[in-house]
Structure 1
Amino acid sequence: MTVLTRILGRSLGLPPVRTPRVRVARDLGIPMADGVRVLADRYHPADDEHVPLVLIRTPYGRASMGLMARLIAERGYQVLVVSLRGTGGSGGRFTGWNLESADGPALIAWLREQDWFHGAFATWGASFLGYAQWELAGAPVPEWKAALVQDAPAEVYATFMYRGGAFALHDWLGWAEQMHALARPGGDSLLAGLLRLPGARRRVRSAAGRLPVTAADRAVTGESVDFFQDWLAHPEPGEFWDRSDHRDHAANMPPVVHLAGGWQDIFLPGTIDRYAALREAGKQVRLLVGPWTHGGGVMTRGYQREAFAVLDHALRGAGSPPSGSVRVFVPGADRWEDHPEWPPVGQETARWRLRPGGRLEPDGSAPGGAGPDDDAPGDSSRFRYDPADPTPAVGGPRMYGGGVRDNRSLEARPDVLTFTGPELPDDLDVHGTVAAEIHLRSSLSHTDVLARLCDVAPNGRSVNVCDGILRLTAQDEPDADGVRAVRIDLWPTAYRFRRGHRLRLQVSGGAHPRYDRNLGTGDQLGTEAVAVDQEILHDAARPSAVLLPVPADGRRGVPGTGPLP
């Protein structure tokens, strides 16, 4: 046991150390079906080589997992850290999210032949390491007893790469730079990563502002990145993206699955979607969602305690897994809540209408809401979106630089409409996926519309709660009046708007460079850009609104127990 693992173990509230001495066998060669060899490091207690195994498959280099592997091994488990094909010294070619489907079965076959294999294993990992777990479930694996999946998708295209049809430019340009740097000798060391980070961030920001977008990867890395070019070349769902869609693998996941995510994590919609699929498949599934950005919950006491409880229960038959099905942290209330399922039972939809003068009000079915007599035919609000000066991104679910931010400078721009509600007389809980119904008339067929729900405090500070974007094309035909009615799914959330606060909905034409700017021409890979005039209608005939999932009869979740993040 090292000084660092002793300190971390105590600060994270980990279970007691079972074995202070850990041995490491490095660069184990594992043959794949086509003859390629991938490399792995094996950590195990020095006094016992036959304890249960934790399997981690990663594209980020094995050195990056060394500390976590030691913490797990000190608590009486073996840990096998495997570098995916084409990464960390493993043979073959790395192709981004399209993993070689034969590699998982080949790894399991090799594992079964090792005399140190106990006969039972769990998988663990966040982000791509969690995605690799979904990919591994292409076929049943009897020895697989539990999966710990943090901030990870089972599907790539709609979940995050082209959510709403807009390409998540900044995150995936930044990820391409990261993977390119990791491929260099010594690139997976912590020191190398820290030294390159400031310069990499500047290069990514600069490159994301250039046209054409197909030149961005070369501007950042000095060369073309094949998988980045493949993503841009396939802006529509289809066969290319089908290879990275593992949503139908739920039935092959192990009997115990722990899912964790954050309200400001880019993969959260996929996490919650897979929670429902796992329940339907009869798995014992736990969902934990905190106030975190991507990866923010991994090294928290609450997450680590639950993770080790799952390992001990599934692999040793000791103790109990985390009680209950769902635990979520509720910003605004600043507490954890427990629910039997998600979204919570007993929900109903509250419609808040966009009104003239930038007002946001409950519709006529709610006390004090706007009625049809308040509407004038043709009521609308207008803005112009210019891709030469794109509406900037402020916070939100992003891999790099996201989270909750003050939106007042963004809301002061002329290309952002805001609709603000009255002061709330009571607390308002919103639990579930928020949506917006927008009626718009555009001067161009090709355009984006972004909706964002914010919480406005009494002092005027406006912070983002959830948002969503939708890319419209010439195939989205308007009605006879040139109006298109669209539904934008925002983001899953659990949030309490406090008494005296106000709801605010932003409507704009994008969030650059979080998403690639819509050039207005239908050619997103080109250099020509055209500004678009947008008209948002909100009269009785076309009642644009935000749809809030709220508890019926004021019912709320049960306050949870355990540490705050």
Structure 2
Amino acid sequence: MNGKSEEKRIGSAYNVNGLMNQDEEEQHDPEKAAEQAEAAARIQKIVSRLFAELPKPVCEHALRREMSVTMPDGVKLACVAYFPEGRGPWPVILHRFPYGPSKFPDHDPAAEIFARQGYVYFECRCRGTGLSEGYFQAFEQETDDGAAVLDFVSAQDWCDGNIGTYGASYMGHTQWAVAGTDNPALRTMYIQVYGGHPYETFYRNGMIRQDIWQSWITGNGGDARDRAESLSAELNQKAFGIRPPEKIGEILLGDPLPWAQKILTSPQETDDAWQKGFWKELKDRAERLRLPVALQCGWFDVFFQSQMDSWRALPPETREKSLCLIGPWDHFGMTNGVLPYPDQERYGVLQIKTTLQWFAHFLKGEPLTLPVGGVQAYCIGDNVWRFWKEDLKAGEHFRLYLGSRSLETEAPEKGHFTYSYDPEHPVASLALGLNKGTVLSPKAGEREKEGVYSFVSGPLEQDVRLTGKMRAELFVSSTAPATAFTVGLFDERPEGAYLVINDITDIRYEKDHFADYTPGTVKKIVLESQDIVWTFRKGNRIRIDVSSSDFPWYNAHTNTTVNWGKATESAVADNTVWFGGDTLSKIVLPVCPDDEVPARS
């Protein structure tokens, strides 16, 4: 069932050779080669800091062995295992992934760390990627393949019967895909920055997260083995011009990508894509999970709310032995440097120290040094860690009403503002990419010509601590039968306004589906944002920005009722936001009273 290659002994001097996926063209471009060298140097510094905080290793060397695992249908998946020195058996950490060059690197610092800590670190390339055989049917293939790999690993004489899964992003998906498996060797999961609520992963209130998923499709769809990053970027730029978007794979990659077409053409949570088959089963897995699980989240990660939804779907007895850890991090477990976050590194560089603490308990039986049974979250603004038993406790409702470019505590006089929204010239997103964090925004009013209207409160007379979800209730109308509205929440400080959260909705979206909208009708729409824990300091101001696009973070609405994934045309719309009188547009903030704030942890 497996084929072995030469076993290699890896020393204790780590480097980043093989980690940088350098395109051949970049190797001959002095400027790009210099950028690669600088990046390698930065990574080496991170690795050096990392090793300084880790427990003393149980051995000085790791043994590297490549092998393959044969799936029930005969397809062979390429794998590499890193073993501790000495005689086993050992606990195993399983990491299944689709990324990187075809060949495994000679050195993998993360794998070597775990091996030297006394684990077998088993890496498996997903079907149709790297040297693994088969076709990459993204996402949906991972349940059967994952179960087969688990069965293989648990049957090896070097496995002591204790397996934990580990990984971030798509490697988090490969874990959710086997959550609830009946393999008795699987003891725990450490899932980073990826949730098990599929619709929330791809969409927000009828609007697709275009920036992330379009680039992911063009970078990983079809046969992407050794596809240069520069080519992926070029394909992504071309994809913006493809109409209809569902043909991106067919036109750019020569592959219709049925799995991607299903995603791109399913904007309602009631669509069959999410309510039947694989994606419905994936969502239900959280409800059936009985293993202790660590969900590591970032306030600024694109998949944060999907993770929180999965945390809340876990059975109470599972949450009691599990942990939801939320830091001021992006998708890579890092911060973007715009704001300082003192003590954010408590859980270690790239949180590997915390991962080791988790596995030491659940795979080796060592004392648990981490909190369980609730949410450990970094409180932005207070800049401290706090622990909530079971879940974040939503704050009390504090209402601010939209007025004439102001936020008021009392209902203002009736008014409105109207702007033209052209999908061919959408409002540009303030922040993009998986390393997105808070950003400094243009001043209030500076983007009105683009169709962004700002509403600002007076200086706060005391600290305002938000815990939970902001709700925006807007009275709106449009000349189009369908359009979108966006809301951004900002913390205005003396040095500038920082983005807290942003949200979007199709005017037709109601809870989980589209309802017909009659052009010209004033309609109340409700946007319930992702969770946030953020303190606005005394003297700061609260600001709300309203618009109709946030592109390309989300797709630019075509202002038509045609499914975006199938749309070939768009139209210009005049959109109006109403306030005051019988159209009291407002935001409802979840303010936590001082006497209900959890103690610092």
Partner of 1:494: 533
Q: Distance in 2 between matches of 1:105 and 1:203?
A: 34
For 2:333, give the aligned amino acid.
G
Shift of 1:68: 1.2
For 1:16, give the aligned amino acid.
K
1:406 to 435, 440, 446: 440
Partner of 1:426: 462
Shift of 1:124: 0.7
Partner of 1:370: 410
Q: Would you say the 8 A contact 1:147–1:253 is kept in 2?
A: no
1:331 to 361, 380, 383: 380
Q: Would you say the 8 A contact 1:53–1:120 is kept in 2?
A: yes
Shift of 1:43: 1.0
Q: Distance in 1 between matches of 2:89 and 2:576?
A: 67
Q: Would you say the 8 A contact 2:400–2:407 is kept in 1?
A: yes
Q: Would you say the 8 A contact 2:361–2:367 is kept in 1?
A: yes
Partner of 1:282: 318
1:90 to 132, 148, 151: 132
Q: Distance in 1 between matches of 2:134 and 2:490?
A: 46
Shift of 1:403: 2.0
Determine helix, strand or coil for the equivalent of 1:120: strand
Q: Would you say the 8 A contact 1:147–1:254 is kept in 2?
A: no
1:153-200 CA-to-partner distances (Å, cap 9, x unmatched) read 2132x2121221112112112112321598334x5xxxx6xxx35x64
Partner of 2:332: 295
Q: Would you say the 8 A contact 1:263–1:292 is kept in 2?
A: yes
Residue 60 (str. 1) matches residue 121 (str. 2):
no
Q: Distance in 2 between matches of 1:436 and 1:453?
A: 10
Residue 208 (str. 1) matches residue 240 (str. 2):
yes
2:54 to 14, 33, 48: 14
Shift of 1:217: 5.1
Q: Distance in 2 between matches of 1:540 and 1:79?
A: 63
Residue 80 (str. 1) matches residue 122 (str. 2):
yes
2:218 to 155, 177, 185: 177
The total of aligned residue pairs comes to 533
For 2:119, give the aligned amino acid.
Y
Partner of 2:19: none
Shift of 1:202: 5.7
Q: Distance in 1 between matches of 2:494 and 2:419?
A: 27
Q: Distance in 2 between matches of 1:556 and 1:184?
A: 50
Closer, same or farther: CA 343–526 of 1 in aligned 2, 3 Å: same
1:191-232 CA-to-partner distances (Å, cap 9, x unmatched) read x6xxx35x6446534542554434555776576555433422
1:506 to 534, 537, 545: 545
Q: Would you say the 8 A contact 1:31–1:38 is kept in 2?
A: yes
For 1:43, give the aligned amino acid.
Y
Q: Would you say the 8 A contact 2:472–2:587 is kept in 1?
A: yes
Q: Distance in 2 between matches of 1:414 and 1:205?
A: 22
Q: How does 1:425-504 map to 2 (within 5 A)?
A: 425-459=461-495, 461-473=496-508, 475-477=514-516, 482-504=521-543
Q: Distance in 2 between matches of 1:104 and 1:227?
A: 18
Partner of 2:588: 547
Query: How much is the aligned-residue C-alpha RMSD, in angstroms?
Result: 2.8
Closer, same or farther: CA 206–508 of 1 in aligned 2, 3 Å: farther
Residue 24 (str. 1) matches residue 71 (str. 2):
no
For 1:535, give the aligned amino acid.
T
Q: Distance in 1 between matches of 2:223 and 2:379?
A: 36
Partner of 2:33: none
Q: How does 1:296-311 map to 2 (within 5 A)?
A: 296-297=333-334, 300-301=348-349, 303-311=351-359
Determine helix, strand or coil for the equivalent of 2:117: coil
Partner of 1:4: 14
Q: How does 1:150-229 map to 2 (within 5 A)?
A: 150-156=192-198, 158-180=199-221, 183-185=224-226, 196-197=229-230, 200-201=232-233, 204-205=236-237, 207-208=239-240, 211-214=243-246, 216=248, 225-229=257-261
1:236-258 CA-to-partner distances (Å, cap 9, x unmatched) read 44333341242221255353211
Partner of 1:366: none
Q: Distance in 1 between matches of 2:207 and 2:307?
A: 20
Structure 1 residues not aligned, in runs of 5+? 362-368, 561-565
Structure 2 residues not aligned, in runs of 5+? 1-10, 16-43, 336-344
Q: Distance in 2 between matches of 1:449 and 1:7?
A: 43
Normalising by structure 2, we get a TM-score of 0.82
1:434-478 CA-to-partner distances (Å, cap 9, x unmatched) read 22111111111110111111111124x222101111113495345
Closer, same or farther: CA 310–85 of 1 in aligned 2, 3 Å: same
Q: Distance in 2 between matches of 1:448 and 1:272?
A: 25
Shift of 1:97: 2.1
